[in-house]
Structure 1
Amino acid sequence: MTAASVPDLPRSGLPFSFELYPPRGAAAAAALTHTIDTLAAAGPEFISVTYGANGSSRTSSLDVLRYILTETTVDPMAHLTCVGSSHAEASRLIREFLDAGVNSFLALRGDAPAGLAEGEGYLGDLRSAGELVQLIHRVQAERVPYRESPVPGQPGARTLHTERAKVRIAVAAFPNGHPRSRSTTQDIDTLLAKQAAGANLAITQLFFHADHYLSFIQRARHAGVEFPILPGIMPATSPARLRRILQLSGEELPSELAIELDVEPTVEGQRDIGIRHAARLATQLIDGGAPGLHLYAFNEHDTVLHVLRRSGALPADSPIVQQVKESA
C-alpha cells in the first residue's frame, strides 16, 4: 500500500505541532528554512526547536526561532534545559528568548554531561523541570510587571494594565516511565508537581503502542493532571532511525516494525513502512481522544506531512495537502 492510496479521514482540524533541531552548517540552515516554510503552510499550532545541553546551540536555536517568528504565522517554542545552569544563567537565557518575542517554552531538566553520573555536582542551581517552569514565570513577571496605554480623549493620561502576556510552558511526560523513576506513581507525581509549578502543556516521550499513551492519560487524569498531554511521534523510516528512537526513549524493540524495516531492501520502501506505522499509531491516538499530535520531524517535512495526511489530521482545505499527495 502506497502513501497515495490511503484516503483522507474525517479528523481534520486536530491540532498538531512539530519539533526541529538547529542546523549544523550553512547548507543545512538554507535547507531548514524551506522545511520550516513547508511545515508552516500545513498550519501547525507551534514548531519547537531543540536546545543543546549547557547552551551548545543557543545562537543557532535562537536564529531558527526568530525565523519562525518573523517569516511565518506559527508560534515558535524554545526548548530549555536547566542541568548545569545557575539561576543567573538560566534567567538571562529566558529573558533573551522573551525579548526576541518567544512566549512558548518546553522546560526540561536535561541529561548529565557525557562521562558524569547522577550526583557528581553537575545539576547547578535548578534541580528539576518544575523549578525551571517557576523561573520562566518569575522572569516573565519581572520583565513585564505592567504596561500602560493612552486614555482616548485625554492627552497625557495613561491607563495602567496589570495583566501580563501569557506564556505557554510545556513539560515532558513519560507514558512508560522515566529511566530514573522508581514507579509509574512517581512519574504521575512528578507531572503533578510540574502542573503546580505552572506548566500548562505536556509532550510525551516516544512510544510505539497507543495503549501505553491512553492508559497513561487515564492514570494522569485520575490523579488530577488537567493540562493537555500531546503524544510525541517520530516515524521510524529506517533501521538506523529506529535504533535512534530506542536510544532516545529507552523503549523496548518493537519486533514487528524492526523486522519489516530489516527485510525491506529499498530506502523508499523503508520510508513507507515507517510512515504507515506512524500514521496507524496517530489514528489510534486520535480515536482514543488525544488532544493533538506532536511529530519529531528530523528537519525534514515530507515524512511527517505524509503521516498527518494518512491519519487524516491535515485539514482537507490545507494548501499543503495537494503538494503532499503529488509527492507521494
Structure 2
Amino acid sequence: MEKTSDPACPGRIPFSFELYPPKTESAASALNTTIASLAAAGPDFISVTYGANGSSRRSSLDVLTHILRTTTVDPMAHLTCVGSSNAEASRLIREFLDAGVRSFLAVRGDPPQGTPEGAALLGDLRSAGELVQLIHRVQAEKVPYRETVIPGLPGARNVKTEREKVRIAVAAFPNGHPRSRSAEQDIDTLLAKQAAGANLAITQLFFHADHYLSFIQRARQAGVEFPIIPGIMPVTSPARLRRILELSGEDLPSELSIQLEVEPTDQGQREIGIRHATDLARELIAGGAPGLHLYAFNQHETVLAVLDGCGLLNPSTPVARLVKESA
C-alpha cells in the first residue's frame, strides 16, 4: 500500500483529528484550547462533525471558521445527505465554500430514529456518492475558471479552466456497514464513491489491525485507488467502550474490555486506552497505512499521547514536551 508524506518532512506519516461542535459556552472555550494544541502538532487536517438533519450546522461552521482564523491547519467539514434536497445541500456546500472550507467528508448519514428498516427516505440525495458529485458540481459553478498572472506583462492574465481542487473524503467500513448485505457490497459502494469523484476515505473505528489490512487488500484488488486512512479512537473507560459499540455495531474487543473493567482507577483506564490505541497505530503504520485519523472526543491529551507513543510528534515542539511532562 502506498504511503503519503509531508513534502517538508520526508518520511513523515500524516495524521489528522476529528472533533464535534460544542454544546455550551464552557465547552466552546475548552474546545478552542484543544484546537490550538492539536494544531500545534501539525495535522494534515481537522474534521468537524455535523449533526443529523443539520442540527449543528451553525456550530459546525463556527468551529471550522475558528480553525481557519487561528491556525494553518486545513479544516474538513462533514456533510450528510439523508433527508436533504438538492437545493438545501447546495446552499450548505456554498456556505462552507464561501467560508473558505476546501475539504469535505461526505457521508450518507443515519436515518431519523424510528425509521423502519428498508423504509423509503425523503430527500433528493440517496447516497454519499450523489453528495460527492454535488460538491464537485457546486464547486464548479462557484469557481468556473482560474486566472494567473503572466510574467512580464503588467495587467495581463492567463485563464485556466482547471479549477481549484477540493478534497472530498468518504467513509469506509473495514468490518462492514451495519446496513450492508455483504462484504462485496461494501467494496462496490466504495468503488461507486471513487467513480463519483471522492479522493480519500476514512474508516470507521475498529480494534484489530488485521481487520483494516485485509479490507485494504480486498479494496485494492477490486480497483479502489485513493488513500484509505484508518480511524482510531483511544477508549479510556468501560462506559465509552459500551457507547462506541452501541453506535458503531462493532464486536466487543474482549481483551480491551476486560482490562478496562478490572482496572479500578480513571488514570489506569486512560493508560490502558492509550496503550491499546498506540499498539494498534504502530501495527497499522508497519502494515503500510498511509496515515492515521484520530477521533479526539474533543480532548487533545489522549490522542497526542498516542501520536507520541508512535514517534509521530516532533520532539522539539512545545506540544511534544507537554505530552512528555504529563505522561
> What is aligned with 1:8?
none
d(CA) in 2 for partners of 1:147 and 1:224?
A: 32
Is 1:55 the equivalent of 2:43?
A: no
The structure with higher relative contact order (CA 8 Å, sep 6+) is: 1
Q: Identify the residue that residue 134 of structure 2 maps to in structure 1.
A: 135
* Aligned counterpart, 1:85: 84
Give the stretch that moved more between structures: 121-130 or 181-190. 121-130
Counterpart amino acid of residue 306 in structure 2: V
Q: CA deviation at 1:265?
A: 0.8
What is the letter of the counterpart of residue 319 of structure 1?
P
The CA deviation at 1:163 is 1.7
What is the deviation of 1:313?
Answer: 2.2
Query: Aligned partner of 2:128: which letter?
Result: A
After TM superposition, give the deviation of residue 159 of structure 1 in Å: 2.6
Question: 1:161, CA displacement in angstroms?
Answer: 2.2
Q: What is the deviation of 1:206?
A: 1.0
Tell me the residue number matched to 2:72: 73
Structure 2 Cα separation of the partners of residues 70 and 253 of structure 1: 40
Query: Do the aligned residues in 1 keep the contact of 2:81 with 2:128 (CA within 8 Å)?
Result: yes
Output the CA distance in 1 between the equivalents of 2:128 and 2:91: 17
- SS state at 1:320 partner: helix
Q: How far 1:281 moved relative to its partner?
A: 0.5
1:250-305 deviations in Å (ceiling 9; x for gaps): 11111111111111111111100100111010011111110000000000000000
Residue 12 of structure 1 and its aligned partner are, at CA, apart by 7.5
Separation in structure 2 between the aligned mates of residue 286 and residue 150 of structure 1, nearest angstrom: 42
Could you tell me which residue of structure 2 aligns to residue 320 of structure 1?
319
SS of aligned partner of 1:170: strand
Q: Give the superposition deviation at 1:218.
A: 0.5
CA contact (8 A) 1:12 1:314 kept: no
Gaps of 5+ in 2: 1-9
What residue is the counterpart of 1:33 in the other structure? 32
Closer, same or farther: CA 12–248 of 1 in aligned 2, 3 Å: farther
| Counterpart position of 2:7 | none
Q: Give the match for residue 301 of structure 2.
A: 302
Q: CA deviation at 1:152?
A: 5.3
Matched, 1:237 2:239: no
Q: Report the residue type matching 2:298 in the other structure.
A: N
How far apart are 1:320 and its partner, in Å?
A: 1.5
Tell me if structure 2 keeps the 8 A contact 1:13–1:314: no
Where does the alignment leave 5 or more consecutive residues of structure 1 unmatched?
1-10
- Encode CA deviations 1:8-63: one digit per residue, 9 max, x unaligned: xxx97210000000001111001100000000000000000000011100000000
Counterparts in 2 of 1:157 and 1:314: CA distance versus 1, 3 Å: closer
The Cα RMSD (Å) is 1.5
2:312 and 2:302 mapped to 1: Cα distance? 14
The share of aligned pairs that are identical, in percent, is: 78
SS in 1 for 2:318: coil
Letter in 2 for 1:111: D
Q: What are the residue-to-residue correspondences of 1:1-328 with 2, within 5 Å?
A: 13-149=12-148, 151=150, 154=153, 157-328=156-327
Alignment check: 8 A CA contact 1:54 1:83 kept: yes
User: How many residues of Structure 1 are paired with residues of Structure 2 in the alignment?
Assistant: 318
Q: Distance in 2 between matches of 1:128 and 1:198?
A: 13
Larger mean CA deviation between 17-26 and 178-187 belongs to: 178-187
